[in-house]
Structure 1
């Protein structure tokens, strides 16, 4: 589908971009041999995968969700797809059908983000936030909009490209799961108890929090576009080493040694189902980043909002390597024609650096009631 670009603000042309529909390795140093049908399982469906209980690929999505502790596990009907509509954010990733499946690509109900863009959208110059994307028709909640496409970099290569991170997007599924868990617990007033925490540990954390509210127990407490329009700082990476280092992770800094040991140890209950990222990948724990600065697609033009109408969903299409999902945009709610499409870049409040130079600070101009103002 052709994507038009308009500018009624000034005479600027859209930034030059080599358009590509699929991701690709940045250079020969980026080993992505796991992007292959050899690293995928397939389904045996003959009904266009209309029955999720019989489709092996859709059951992979279900089994991954079941690995979450019960307190984080969404109920059936609130994750995955239904008739190509995303039912709800699936933090453990959605597994689509692939080249190993016998279903037809254009008719399969479990092939969504690998399909062409369905809803007409437009790149346009906004009054305050540079170039953005808006809907040209009504888009229903849960509908697929576009993917975030670009060059695949390793985390080490990305770290070396200082000053060129305006359009980086992190593919760290482990980090995404932990951040969602932390956000959920903070909304409830509880601290994140880490990967693989059992239901007993969650209950203990909640009990401890209740005791603290009564004045008992420890003193733990729960945490609560740039001046220049171009380039937009679309860096949403969170370095894996920061998530593992208690000195750099603000949530871990609030926990004492005994609690940290409890988090880092395998859960005593459900140990056979708890997935331990570090143990699974071992030394081959390379993380990947998508860079859409020079080569990419329309996804790079979506702006930030503190009250977004679009969310990112990790989807597995061409590999089941958990380090290499696709980053796909879905509508959070019903979107009216003419609305700008925006997502939350995922910057943490702890990322604010009071000493950051003014020209490198990132300000949000979304205008929502809960706008944070400054993001970086």
Structure 2
């Protein structure tokens, strides 16, 4: 039996027309089959969920150690090495092979407004700024138009001054990772946790 948090992941995916769900529906898959395709499977996320993953939290009655819907909150599992490349600067690589869908780490930093982000960009490099724009993204996916509500500007995670290892992943035109919005203690769409997962199998040293 799936818990309420897992069902919320599925319900939000259905409500917001997640591409994977739409594809399964076109193929006339049953709801029970779709449920198996959404969310974590054996501590991996094989397919990104555009509307977000809702993990169990401190308010849930499930067993903390045995619950299969707790992953990002458990912290770093992958063995990563920080190194410096003479051309690209600092970067991260894995010390062991990582299967597709493996959780790497969260991208963390200061929570600031978009206006503050623009102000900082005048004097600092903005390459470590990431917008928390899930609300706008969902609006666009559902309504297929731009969100003109200027009063609902997204917040920004700025890892320039305070962050973790996640800030050292290098940009790539062919990325082997993706960012997944994950909700744990808060279900406020404005403030997701940004979790990095492998898009493909990543070999040691990459």
Using structure 1 for the length normalisation, give the TM-score. 0.48
Contact 2:18 2:49 in 1 (8 A): no
In structure 1, the residue matched to 2:59 is: 100
Structure 1 unmatched ranges of 5 or more: 1-50, 179-193, 203-242, 246-277, 340-376
In structure 2, the residue matched to 1:122 is: 81
Root mean square deviation of aligned Cα = 2.3
Are 1:163 and 2:123 an aligned pair?
A: yes
Are 1:306 and 2:173 an aligned pair?
A: yes
| Secondary structure of 2:11's aligned partner | helix
Contact 1:65 1:92 in 2 (8 A): yes
Are 1:133 and 2:79 an aligned pair?
A: no
Within the candidate set 126, 142, 146, 1:196 is matched to 142
In structure 2, the residue matched to 1:67 is: 15
Q: How does 1:48-87 map to 2 (within 5 A)?
A: 51=1, 54-69=2-17, 73-75=22-24, 76=34, 77-87=36-46
**Deviation for aligned residue 1:89:** 1.0
C-alpha separation between the residues in 1 aligned to 2:90 and 2:119?
27
C-alpha separation between the residues in 1 aligned to 2:49 and 2:73?
17
Are 1:326 and 2:188 an aligned pair?
A: no
| Secondary structure of 1:174's aligned partner | helix
Residue deviations 1:299-333 (CA, integer Å, cap 9, x gap)? 00001111111111010112000010011100111
Q: How does 1:1-376 map to 2 (within 5 A)?
A: 51=1, 54-69=2-17, 73-75=22-24, 76=34, 77-161=36-120, 162-164=122-124, 165-177=126-138, 194-197=140-143, 243-244=146-147, 285-339=152-206
Larger radius of gyration: 1
C-alpha separation between the residues in 1 aligned to 2:19 and 2:77?
35
Contact 2:18 2:50 in 1 (8 A): no
Alignment CA distance shift 1:328-1:71 (3 Å): closer
C-alpha separation between the residues in 2 aligned to 1:116 and 1:244?
34
Contact 1:123 1:134 in 2 (8 A): yes
Structure with more of its chain in helix, by fraction: 2
Using structure 2 for the length normalisation, give the TM-score. 0.84
Residue deviations 1:104-160 (CA, integer Å, cap 9, x gap)? 333321111111211101111124211110010011110100000111001222222
Structure 2 unmatched ranges of 5 or more: 25-33
C-alpha separation between the residues in 2 aligned to 1:177 and 1:62?
15
**Deviation for aligned residue 1:286:** 4.8
| Secondary structure of 1:60's aligned partner | helix
C-alpha separation between the residues in 1 aligned to 2:141 and 2:50?
13
Structure with more of its chain in strand, by fraction: 2
After the TM superposition, which parts of structure 1 deviate over 6 Å for at least 4 consecutive aligned residues? none
C-alpha separation between the residues in 2 aligned to 1:314 and 1:70?
13
